[in-house]
C-alpha cells in the first residue's frame, strides 16, 4: 500500500557521477540489491548518520572513511550499498565484513580503501553473505552509467519493504549557469530519523567547499528527514550523503547560496515525504503543523507526540475525526506551563477545537469529510509564541501490523 | 482478547465502606455504567490524578473537592463514577455537569457537595447525558453494600473496552490486629499513566494520617500504575484514589508501616498488571526489567522506549525473537555516553545479545520457544550502574488496530 502517486522523475546527468546496480542475491534472488555510486575526483561529500547508540558496522566505517577523506581535503570516490541485510548488531565480524567490502571495491576501481563508504539496510543481526556480495560487485561496477535509468536502477536497488523507488530532482539557474540537484532515498518502516534518514543519496554538480556543504546538509536534514515519522523507531543504519561534484557553478554566498539552499531543501523534503507516502501499511499522508509555540523544539515535541500516538494513527486509518484523541495527545506533550484553553486545532479547513473543547460550530460530518481524504493536514496552534514546525506522518493500519509481524518469515 | 486468567478475588468487608452499581444507559443499555462508593466518616482519602494538560472536567472537580476535604481535616464521603462518557474536552458545560452530579448525589445522601468526588471514563468530547445519569443515581445508592459481590459489581460498572473486572486484595496481620487492602481498577487502552492510571479505587480499614497516606499513595503509584504502558497514550481522565477508613489498626511507622507499604504495593501492582493483561488486543504479557542503570530514571527511559516501540510490539505479537528490534530500541533511548558493548539482553532464560551483537551461544529455536509463551520477560542490563526498574506492557496486534479503528462506531 502507498499513498498517492510518486513518479520517479527524469534525472538530468550530473557529469562524472555514475550509478550501477546488480542482483547479488543477498536475501532474495532476481532483485537489484547491490548499488555502487562513483563520485568524480575533486568532489566534496558531506554525511549525516544515525544517532542510535547501536549504530551498524557500515555506519561506523562510512563515518571513519569520510572523516579521513575530509582530513585529506578530498571527497569519497565510491559508495557501495547493499539491501537485504543491515550488517547491524553483528559485532567484530560485521566491522570486518564492511571493511572487506570497501577493500574489494577499492581494488576493482583502483582507489584507496578509505575512499569507499559502505551502506547496508535490511534485517538486523545476521552476518552479511560476503561470498554473494563480493561476487556481485563486478556486475555493479560494469553497470555504472550517468543516465536517468541508472538513477532509477539505483533507486530500486536500495529498497527493502518500500513499494516504490523514490527520487527527486531540481535544476536551478544561478546567474548564467545552471546547477542540478538529484537525490534518491529508501525507507518505509523503522522511520523516525535522528539526524538522518534510512538511506538517502543526494548529488549536485555545484562547487561548494566542505564546511558550507556540511552546514547545508545539516540544515536540510533538520527540516526534511528529521521531520518525518512512520513508527517512532530510529534505525541503526540511517545515513544521508550529499555530494557536490564541483564541475558546475560555484555556490559560495549571496543569492546563489540562498537559491541553492531552497532547492536542496525541496529535493530532500520531497524524498522525505516520499518515504512517508510509502510508509509501511500507509493509507494516509498526514501533515502536522504546530504553530504559535515558544520555540521550534516545543513545536516539534507537540507534533511528534501527536504523530506517534497509536490512538491518533488508528483514528486516521479509520477516517474517524476523533478530535478527542488529538487533544489528549497534545495534552501529554512535554510543554511547560501549558494553558490548554489557548489551543486551537484545525483539520483541513474545519475548526475542531477551541477553548479546551469542541469548537462551537463544529459538525461531525464536516470533520468526517476531511478525514476521508488520502492527504490530511492537521494544524495545532498553541497560542503561546511565534515559532512553528511541520512534521509528516502516516496512519497505523492492519497492514502495518501484518508487514511487521511477518517481516522475517 | 486478554492474557492469562485474572480471577476477581473474594473481597473481605471493609467496615463502613459500601459500593453500589446501576444501569443508567449512559452509552449502551443493559450494562452497569454508574457506580457510587460510600466512605465512612472519619476516613482519610488520598488521590493521584492525570498530568495530561487537557484534564477532564471531573478530574478538575475531584481534585478541587478533595483539597477542600483535606483542608477541613476530613476525607471525602462519596465517589461517583460513570463509564461510557469521559466528560473530557467539554469545556464549561462539562464542569457544570460534573458539579451537578456531585450536588445531586450530595442531596440524596445528605452530605455537602464538596464531599463528593466525580469520575468519568469513556468517549472524549461528547456532553454527559445528564438526564440518564441523574435518573440512575438513586438506584446506585439503593444498591450500596459492603459484600464481595458489591466490589465485583463496582469493578464491572467502571469498565469501558476492558474485557473483565479487575480486583486485588491482601489482608495483613499487624501485631494482634489485621488490616485489609482492597482495590478495583479499569483500563485497557490509552494506557500510559502519568502519576495515576485510568481509574483505580483502593481502600483499607487501617488508620493512617493524611500526610502519610498521601506519601504512601504517591510511592505505590510510582511503582505500579506508572510502570505500565499499552500504547503510550496518557488518558485525560486518569485517577487513583486511596481510602483509609481508620476503623482498623493504626499504621504510623516501624514494621507495621513497612508491611503496609509492601501490601499496598502488592495490591496496586496486581491491579496495574491486570490492566496490561487486559490491554486492548493483548496476546502477550511482557515484563521489561532494565538493570545496571546509573539511575532509576535512566532505567525507566530505556524500558519505556522498548515498551513503546511498534516494531518490538509487533514482533512480540508474531512470537518472533527479533532481538535486532529490541537492540535498535535500546540504542535510541535517551541515555548519555552510552557504551552499547556493555549491554546484555536476555529473553527469559536465553541470552540474546552481548558485546553489541548476537550472543555467541544463541540459537534461534531457543529464542522462538520463549517468544511462543503468553508471558515473557525481557531483561536488559546496561552495564553502567546499579539502579533498575521494571515496566509491564502488551503487544501490538491486529485486534488493537480493529478496536481503535472501530471504537466510536
Q: What is the pLDDT of residues A247-263, one digit of tens each?
A: 888 888 888 888 898 88
Q: Which of A86, A89, A196, A279 should one mutate to test binding to chain B, selecting the residue with the greatest count of B CBs within 10 A? A: A89
- Residue among B55, B311, B328 minimizing CB distance to A52: B328
Is A287 marked active-site? Answer: no
What is the reported pLDDT for B409?
A: 42
B93 has binding-site annotation: no
Mean pLDDT, chain B, integer: 89
- Tell me which of A57-71, A189-203, A257-271, A365-379 is least confident: A189-203
Residue A246: predicted pLDDT: 84
**Are both B55 and B199 inside the same structural domain?**
yes
Residue A241: domain span: 18-275
Are B154 and B179 members of one domain? yes
Determine contact, residues A223/A270, Cβ cutoff 8 Å.
no
The Cα A395–Cα A378 span in angstroms is: 13
* Average pLDDT across chain A, whole number: 89
Q: What is the CA radius of gyration of chain A?
A: 22
Can you read off the three cell numbers belonging to residue B248? Answer: 482498623
Q: Which residues of A touch B328 (CB under 8 A)?
A: 52, 54, 88, 124, 190, 233-236
Stretch 335-354 of chain B: residues touching chain A, C-beta under 8 Å: 335, 338, 340, 353
Q: Is B49 on the interface with A (CB under 8 A)?
A: no
Residues B193 and B70 in one domain: yes
Is the domain of A56 the same as that of A194?
yes
Half-sphere CA count of A110, side-chain side, radius 13 A: 1
User: Is the same domain home to B23 and B167?
Assistant: yes
Closest in A54, A194, A331 to B53, CB measured: A331
Sole residue written with cell 459500601: B18
- B238 with B263, same domain: the answer is yes
Same domain, B323 and B347: yes
* Distance of alpha carbon B401 from alpha carbon B186, whole angstroms: 20
Alpha-carbon distance of B271 to B265, in angstroms, equals 10
**Cβ–Cβ of A398/B397 closer than 8 Å?**
no
Question: Which residue in B90, B190, B338 is closest to A311 by CB distance?
Answer: B190
| pLDDT score, position A409 | 42
Per residue in A338-362, is it b (16+ CB within 10 Å) or e — as a string? bebeebbbbbbebbbbbebbbbeeb
Looking at the fold, whether A252 and A290 belong to one and the same domain comes out as no
Average pLDDT over residues A298-305: 94
Q: B233 and A328: CB-CB below 8 Å?
A: yes
Last residue of a domain, one of A242, A275, A308: A275
**Whether residue B188 sits in one domain with residue B46:** yes
Residue A315 burial by CB count (10 A; 0-12/13-18/19+): exposed, middle or buried? buried
- Rounded Cα distance between A191 and A233, Å, is 6
Q: Could you tell me if residue B13 is inside a domain? A: no
What is d(CA A201, CA A215) in angstroms, rounded to the nearest whole number? 16
Q: Inter-chain contact A189–B311, Cβ cutoff 8 Å?
A: yes
Number of Cβ pairs closer than 8 Å across A and B? 206
* Mean pLDDT within A134-160: 96
Q: Which residues pair with residue A47 across a beta bridge?
A: A241
Give domain status of residue A5, yes or no.
no
Taking the CA of residue A67 and the nearest CA in chain B, the distance in Å comes to 21
CB A344 within 8 A of CB B141: no
Measured in degrees and rounded to the nearest 5, phi and psi for residue B54 equal -90, 75
Residues B248 and B332 both lie in one domain: no
Contact state of A327 with B409 under an 8 Å Cβ cutoff:
no
Q: Is A8 among the domain residues?
A: no
| A13 found inside a domain | no
| Residue A183 located in a structural domain | yes
pLDDT at residue number A19? 96
Active site members of B:
197
Is B10 a domain residue? no
Q: What is the DSSP letter of A234?
A: P
* Contact map slice: A 243-302 vs B, CB within 8 A: none
Torsion of CA B396, B401, B403, B408, to 10 degrees: 140
Is B186 flagged in the annotation as binding? yes
Q: What is the pLDDT of residues A320-366, one digit of tens each?
A: 998 888 988 998 898 988 888 899 999 999 999 998 788 989 998 99
For residues A251-264, b (16+ Cβ closer than 10 Å) or e, as one string? beeeebbebbeebb
Q: Is the pLDDT of residue A135 over 70?
A: yes
Q: What is d(CA A23, CA A166) in angstroms, rounded to the nearest whole number?
A: 19
User: Could you read off the pLDDT of B281-331 as tens digits, one per residue?
Assistant: 899 999 999 999 999 999 999 999 999 999 999 999 999 998 888 988 998
Whichever domain contains A319, its CATH number is 3.10.20.340
pLDDT given for residue A146 in this prediction: 95
Please state, in angstroms and rounded to a whole number, the distance separating the CA atoms of residues B257 and B59.
Answer: 30
DSSP A344-358: EEEETTEEEEETTEE
User: Is it the case that residue B274 has pLDDT exceeding 70?
Assistant: yes
Whether A235 maps to a domain, the answer reads yes
* Cα torsion through A60, A66, A71, A77, rounded to 10: 150
Indicate the helix (H) or strand (E) that contains B8. Answer: none
Between CA A92 and CA B324 the distance in angstroms is 16
pLDDT of amino acid A371 = 93
Q: How confident is the model at residue A407 (pLDDT cuts 50, 70, 90)?
A: low
Contacts of A232 in chain B (CB under 8 A): 308-310
CB atoms inside a 10 Å sphere around CB A122: 19
Please say which residue of A240, A275, A310 terminates a domain: A275
> d(Cα B17, Cα A176) in Å, to the nearest integer?
87
Using an 8 Å CB-CB cutoff, list chain A residues near B189: 311
Query: What integer pLDDT is reported at residue B194 of this predicted model?
Result: 64
Q: Which of A96, A355, A405 to mutate to test the interface with B (most CBs of B within 10 A)?
A: A405
Is 90 exceeded by the pLDDT of residue B229? no
Q: Are residues B239 and B221 in the same domain?
A: yes
The CA–CA distances, whole Å, from B156 to B31, B162, B163, B184 equal: 9, 9, 9, 9
Tell me which of B1, B90, B124, B328 to substitute to probe the interface with A (most A C-beta atoms closer than 10 Å): B328
Q: Confidence band (pLDDT; 50, 70, 90) for A1?
A: low
CA distance B113 to A348: 43
Structural domains in chain B (count): 2
- Beta carbons of B233 and A332 less than 8 Å apart: yes
A113: domain CATH number is: 3.60.70.12
How close A18 comes to chain B (CA, Å)?
33
- Cβ of residue A394 closer than 8 Å to a chain B Cβ: no
Query: A90 and A202: one domain?
Result: yes
For CA atoms A117, A120, A124, A130, the dihedral sign is negative
Please check whether residue B317 lies inside any domain of the structure: yes
Can you give the pLDDT at residue A174?
Answer: 83
**Spatial distance between the Cα atoms of A297 and A276, rounded to a whole number of angstroms:** 21
The one-character DSSP state at A8 is P
Using the 3D structure, point to which of B226, B261, B277 is the last residue of a domain.
B277
Selecting among A50, A90, A180, A197, the annotated active-site residue is: A197
| CA-based nearest residue in chain B for residue A308 | B232
Report DSSP letters for A270-334, one per residue. Answer: HHHHHHHHT-TT---EEEEEEEEESSHHHHHHHHHHHHH-HHHHHHHHTT---HHHHHHHHHTS-
pLDDT by residue (tens digit) across A163-215?
889 899 999 888 888 889 999 988 887 777 765 567 888 888 888 888 888 88
**Are A240 and A202 a contacting pair, CB within 8 Å?**
yes
Q: Is B355 on the interface with A (CB under 8 A)?
A: yes
Among chain A residues, CA nearest to B409: A320
Chain-centre distance for alpha carbon A131: 30
Give dist(CA B91, CA A389) in Å, integer: 28
In this predicted structure, the answer to whether residue B53 has a pLDDT above a threshold of 70 is yes
Q: How far apart are CA B115 and CA B106, in angstroms?
A: 8
| Residue B161 sits at the chain A interface (C-beta within 8 Å) | no
The mean pLDDT value for A236-255 works out to 85
Closest CA to A332 of A348, A316, A358, A308: A308
Amino acid at each position: 500500500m502507498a499513498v498517492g502517486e510518486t513518479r520517479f522523475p527524469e534525472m538530468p546527468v550530473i557529469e562524472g557521477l555514475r550509478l550501477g546496480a546488480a542482483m547479488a542475491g543477498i536475501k532474495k534472488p532476481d532483485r537489484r540489491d547491490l548499488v555502487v555510486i562513483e563520485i568524480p575526483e575533486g568532489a566534496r561529500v558531506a554525511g549525516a548518520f544515525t544517532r542510535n547508540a547501536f549504530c551498524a558496522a557500515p555506519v561506523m566505517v562510512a563515518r571513519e572513511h569520510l572523516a579521513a577523506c575530509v582530513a585529506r581535503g578530498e571527497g569519497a570516490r565510491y559508495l557501495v550499498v547493499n539491501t537485504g541485510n543491515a550488517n547491524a548488531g553483528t559485532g567484530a565480524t560485521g566491522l570486518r565484513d564492511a571493511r572487506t567490502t570497501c577493500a574489494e571495491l577499492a581494488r576493482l576501481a583502483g582507489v584507496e580503501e578509505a575512499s569507499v563508504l559502505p551502506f547496508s539496510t535490511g534485517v538486523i543481526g545476521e552476518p552479511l553473505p560476503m561470498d554473494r556480495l563480493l561476487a556481485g560487485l563486478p556486475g555493479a561496477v560494469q553497470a555504472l552509467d550517468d543516465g536517468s535509468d541508472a538513477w532509477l536502477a539505483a533507486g530500486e536497488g536500495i529498497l527493502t519493504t518500500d513499494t516504490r523507488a523514490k527520487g527527486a530532482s531540481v535544476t536551478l539557474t544561478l546567474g548564467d549557469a545552471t546547477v542540478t540537484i538529484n537525490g534518491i532515498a529508501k525507507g518505509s518502516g523503522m522511520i523516525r530519523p535522528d539526524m538522518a534518514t534510512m538511506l538517502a543519496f543526494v548529488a549536485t554538480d555545484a562547487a561548494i567547499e566542505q564546511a558550507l556543504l556540511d552546514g547545508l546538509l545539516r540544515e536540510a536534514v533538520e527540516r526534511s528527514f528529521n521531520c518525518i515519522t512512520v513508527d517512532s523507531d530510529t534505525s541503526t543504519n540511517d545515513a544521508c550523503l550529499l555530494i557536490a561534484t564541483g564541475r558546475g557553478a560555484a555556490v559560495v554566498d549571496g543569492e546563489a547560496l540562498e537559491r541553492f539552499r531552497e532547492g536542496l531543501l525541496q529535493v530532500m523534503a520531497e524524498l522525505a515525504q516520499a518515504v512517508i507516502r510509502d510508509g509501511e501499511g500507509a493509507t494516509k499522508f498526514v501533515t502536522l503543523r504546530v504553530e504559535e509555540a515558544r520555540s521550534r523544539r516545543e513545536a516539534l515535541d507537540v507534533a511528534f507526540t501527536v504523530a506517534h500516538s497509536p490512538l491518533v494513527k488508528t483514528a486516521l486509518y479509520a477516517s474517524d475525526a476523533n478530535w478527542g484523541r488529538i487533544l489528549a495527545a497534545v495534552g501529554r506533550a512535554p510543554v511547560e506551563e501549558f494553558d490548554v484553553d489557548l489551543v486551537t486545532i484545525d483539520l483541513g479547513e474545519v475548526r475542531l477545537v477551541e477553548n479546551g473543547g469542541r469548537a462551537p460550530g463544529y459538525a461531525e460530518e464536516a470533520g468526517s469529510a476531511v478525514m476521508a481524504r488520502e492527504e490530511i493536514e492537521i494544524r495545532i496552534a498553541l497560542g503561546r509564541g511565534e515559532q512553528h514546525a511541520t512534521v509528516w506522518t502516516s496512519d497505523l493500519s492492519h497492514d502495518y501490523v501484518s508487514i511487521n509481524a511477518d517481516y522475517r518469515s
